[in-house]
Amino acid sequence: MTTENRGYSLAVSHSSKRESKEKIWLKPMSLYVPDVAVEAVAELTSGFSENNSEYVLTVTNNNNGVSVDKEFPSLDALKDPLNAADAVKELINIVRGYESDEETNVCGW
């Protein structure tokens, strides 16, 4: 039986305006590269302009529905390259920690 890889979603949401942007990564291991993670967050935050508002970064394993998020007090805090790279890596590690059966892991890990 072949299971379709639905990948991981990386999303940024604006808390008060209920706006969000999302991108699916079929090979999420590339997000471990800091430059790739920073570029992905920059792409997702490009349309947001309100800085003094809370933002949420979310990583979801689309294969099993496990999702975790991290809140940021401002857009600048989320866009900071060190914060962005560390947060993406941290969230992916948490999501991967919930994977209980290696046979259902189809995301290329």
Q: What is the total count of domains within the chain?
A: 1
| Position 79 in a domain | yes
**What average pLDDT does the segment 65-73 reach?**
94
CATH of the domain at 29: 3.30.160.220
| Position 109 in a domain | no
| Position 6 in a domain | no
| Position 2 in a domain | no
Range of the domain at 73: 11-98
| Position 29 in a domain | yes
Q: Mapping DSSP to helix (H, G, I), strand (E, B) and coil, where does residue 3 land?
A: coil
Residue-wise pLDDT tens digits, 14-58: 877 778 999 999 988 999 999 999 999 999 999 888 877 899 999
- Whether 47 contacts 26, CB under 8 Å: no
| Position 65 in a domain | yes
Q: pTM of the prediction?
A: 0.84
| Position 78 in a domain | yes
| Position 42 in a domain | yes
